[in-house]
Chains A and B, each alone.
Chain A
Amino acid sequence: MTDRQIIAATRFGYGLPLPAGAPVEAGAMLSLLAGPDTAAVQWPGVHLDEAILLFGASYEARLARRTDDAARIDFRRALEQVNRQAAAGQAAIFARALGAPDGFRERLVQFWADHFTTVPKLYDHKGVVLSLAEDAVRPHVAGRFAEMLKAATLHPAMLLFLDQQVSVGPNSRRAKDGKRGLNENLGRELLELHTLGVGAGYSQEDVRQMAELLTGLIVKPREGQGFNPKAAEPGPETVLGQVYEGKGVEPILRALEDLAVRPETGRHLARKLAVHFVADDPPEELVVAMAQAYAETGGSLLAVYGALLNHPLAWEGPLTKLRQPFDFLVAGLRGLGVAADTLVGMKPKAFERLLLEPMAAMGQPMNRAGGPDGWPEEAEAWITPQRLAARITWAMQVPSRLVKPLPEPLVLAQGALGGRLGERLELALGGAESRRDAVGLVLSSPEFNRR
């Protein structure tokens, strides 16, 4: 196992062993990423066209039950369907991370899904939330950021999560009754989190104008994103000195395009990618190279990944990043040799108990980030007494329930860590009382939890 393979699997994939035939040279990794998304076909996720139907059914039953008791049963059934759909979608996310031939693509999809974090506000939203990664992120993961931004901003999950649904232009017809007004939530996060970044030079007035520009965007149950001209603020809006005027969604798309190609956005995204993949405090030189690739190509993500993968610093240790709980579990399952299809076939109760509940105990309840800024990056956020205890407990107790017989611990350690297996861990394995405990030590070790 070469260093290059270890870093390709650990820093840019879901851990060792590398998927069979997986490339480790930058050019080949980029070609694979630019090629067809085979994992999405093999383990289908939740798409918006299906999710919005179930959302519509539960939404209608939710309203009807206020006056019609029979609708309560419909509502319960609709929620059960949403839950089943969401559980299958979550299993597919695990399965792909575990089984996909292109680990880098899966890592990137998770990264961008987190960049555009949405959380279900009502149980009805669960499927819709999952579909954002499927329909707004995956198709654009190697494309232009502007296209992903447009798809994610207009996605019903985003409109619901950041209150665009209830935002009404102050001078719109819909505001005449005085009951509703402008909600700046999406407008603000769009500038602060999704594009320019919090330190960039935009003002509160830009936020407000952006929010006014976004008015009119709505979610139609059973249909998806729509536009209600009655809620739209009339007249032109000015964001960062650019004037946007016109009917419907078109001026919004123009503004998103402009925001996407701004240098502040390129710089923000470059740094965020470098922080996620390389180090909590990444080398400035690397960030500059990535931001430059972004600027030169009008925001081609493939070009940015190219600048990352072609940079020598991206292939240098130390590997200090901390695996987030999802990555930790997937890397554990990879190391243990659990097949992706085992997860898809798992009973929902077992999936909950063995993976989702432990993941929540480690601080990362799936699809339930604490806010629109997504999960924290810094190691200190994940390794606290309580959260580390949850990792150790999983490492000691769960592998023996998933894999029979358990692998020989030293073989597991070498396979999952390669040359990163430290002397302390190697020595400890010889002293463990049981194979179960030794496997637990491998997965609890700092070298396994860092990447």
Chain B
Amino acid sequence: MDRRAFLRQSLASVACSAAAHPLLTTVTLASGAAALGDKRLIVVILRGAMDGLDVVQPLGDPLFRDYRPNLGRKTGATDLDGYFGLHPLLGGLMPLWSKGELAFVHATSTPYRDKRSHFDGQDLLEAGTGSDLLLGQTQRDGWMNRMLQAIPGLTAETAYAFGNEAAPLLVGAAPVMNWSPELSLDLTPQSQLLLEHIYKGDPLFAASAAGALELSAEMAGMDLREGAGGGPLAGIDPLVDFAASRLAEETRIAAFSLGGWDTHRTQKTAIQRSLKQLEHLILRLREKLGPAVWGQSVLLTMTEFGRTARENGSKGTDHGTGGLMIAAGGAVNGGRVLGRWPGLDEAALYDRRDLMPTSDVRDWAAYAMRGLYGFDKGLLEKVVFPGLILGDDPGLIL
């Protein structure tokens, strides 16, 4: 064997490892979409800790005004149920509220307490474990991936993480697709041809490139344009449109991530961008999915923790505990603010500073999955959220 051939051996010899690649193995299996039926679950992780008290404001509590002289009432919230009001920048969601397609869960949180670190809090939220002591030890995969592992005939297309941020809640043994429109491969036809040629000897590269090129081509055909005029919403459109196209086909489980919620200063302006993005994401997804698919869908937002009940000295809020979950979709039994409201009396606050959590955010997610897909409680309590003890079904899903 000459030297050149000897070193080139590398490419041929990796062929055997390609059999283990999800893209190559799953095409022969039955569709995971079939096992999940027509229901869609979309989880949006709100990174940075969304201030639930600003989003769904307890206007009926006189203390709220005292705690928040610059936030709260002055933002001009829209009345939801006579006690709570919705932040005006989510006003576009009111038609969903009226139709019963929108619900809120107040004073909910993960089991994470006291340290109030974004990274730890998000890790725990996405690992879905019961205690921060377990983190990084037994559970290195995410809870959504563990749910996927229970689905027979799963294909890589069944679950998608949209965006170029890592989606730890979908990480694990079950195959999952990741894609972000801005990563679209923008190659000339000739370069594409040449690339396919040089990848022919390496199945792992060939399969991944084929996947990337196929997705890019589909996106090109979809005319994924950024929203007019740039601004904070511009980047959302291609992402949502692409997600909607996947959800209309094989995909049943989707994850997004939306940042910018860490509003320590002048929250009134600091939160605008994120709220507008969230509203836009929900409305655009609803529009693009169309009534039939939206009717089968549940979108849940989850954040690592809430923020302090009181405004701080910079007209913002600091890291807290109890937070807010938003549920939207045609399969939501909405028009309600759910969760036991703990009140704002200082004695009722956690650590005398944060909204007291009265439910575990995993409970709501578990019942959403159970309502949509009929998973049994044992699976949810032992595998998806190990150690969780489910309470009564809160009836979040129709």
Total number of B residues with any Cβ neighbor in A under 8 Å: 65
The reply to whether the CB of B84 lies closer than 8 angstroms to some CB of chain A is: no
The reply to whether the CB of B199 lies closer than 8 angstroms to some CB of chain A is: yes
The reply to whether the CB of B340 lies closer than 8 angstroms to some CB of chain A is: no
Nearest-neighbor residue (CB-CB) of A119 within chain B: B119
On chain B, the residues within 8 Å of A320 by CB distance are 10, 13-14, 17
Total number of A residues with any Cβ neighbor in B under 8 Å: 65
The reply to whether the CB of B185 lies closer than 8 angstroms to some CB of chain A is: yes
Instruction: Tell me the bound Cα distance from A120 to B135 in angstroms.
Output: 15
The reply to whether the CB of A66 lies closer than 8 angstroms to some CB of chain B is: yes
Report whether B133 and A183 are in contact in the complex, using a CB–CB cutoff of 8 Å.
yes
> By DSSP majority rule, is chain B's interface helix, strand, loop, or mixed?
helix
The contact string, 1 if C-beta is below 8 Å from chain B, for chain A 270-302, is 000000000010000000000000000000000
The contact string, 1 if C-beta is below 8 Å from chain B, for chain A 333-361, is 00000000000000000000000000011
The reply to whether the CB of B217 lies closer than 8 angstroms to some CB of chain A is: no
Interface residues of B in 190-225 (CB under 8 A from A): 190-191, 193-195, 197-202, 204-205, 208-209, 211-212, 215-216
| Neighbour of A388 across the interface among B10, B20, B205, B313, CB < 8 A | B205
On chain B, the residues within 8 Å of A418 by CB distance are 7
On chain A, the residues within 8 Å of B74 by CB distance are none
The reply to whether the CB of A53 lies closer than 8 angstroms to some CB of chain B is: no
On chain A, the residues within 8 Å of B212 by CB distance are 385-386, 388-389, 392
Instruction: Tell me the bound Cα distance from A65 to B265 in angstroms.
Output: 12
Report whether A72 and B14 are in contact in the complex, using a CB–CB cutoff of 8 Å.
no
Report whether A437 and B11 are in contact in the complex, using a CB–CB cutoff of 8 Å.
no
Instruction: Tell me the bound Cα distance from A189 to B120 in angstroms.
Output: 17
The contact string, 1 if C-beta is below 8 Å from chain B, for chain A 158-200, is 0000110010000000000000000111001100100000000
The reply to whether the CB of B183 lies closer than 8 angstroms to some CB of chain A is: yes
| Neighbour of A385 across the interface among B6, B179, B201, CB < 8 A | B179
Report whether B204 and A385 are in contact in the complex, using a CB–CB cutoff of 8 Å.
no
The reply to whether the CB of B28 lies closer than 8 angstroms to some CB of chain A is: no
On chain A, the residues within 8 Å of B202 by CB distance are 446, 450
Q: How far is the CB of A355 from chain B (nearest CB, A)?
A: 15
On chain A, the residues within 8 Å of B8 by CB distance are 419-420, 422, 447
6 contacts between A and B (CB under 8 A): A122-B117, A184-B133, A317-B7, A370-B166, A380-B17, A384-B178
20 further A-B pairs in the complex, CB-CB below 8 A; given A422-B198, A437-B194, A446-B201: A66-B318, A72-B314, A121-B120, A162-B136, A184-B137, A185-B133, A188-B137, A192-B137, A280-B17, A318-B11, A318-B14, A371-B136, A385-B209, A388-B212, A392-B209, A422-B11, A437-B188, A437-B191, A444-B198, A446-B202
Residues of chain B touching chain A, judged by Cβ–Cβ distance below 8 Å, are: 3-4, 6-14, 17, 20-23, 115, 117, 119-120, 132-133, 135-137, 140, 164, 166, 168, 171, 177-180, 183-188, 190-191, 193-195, 197-202, 204-205, 208-209, 211-212, 215-216, 264-265, 312-314, 318
Residues of chain A touching chain B, judged by Cβ–Cβ distance below 8 Å, are: 3, 6, 65-66, 69, 72, 119-122, 162-163, 166, 183-185, 188-189, 192, 280, 317-320, 360-361, 363, 365, 370-373, 379-380, 383-390, 392-393, 396, 418-420, 422, 424-425, 427-428, 431-433, 437, 440-441, 444-447, 449-450
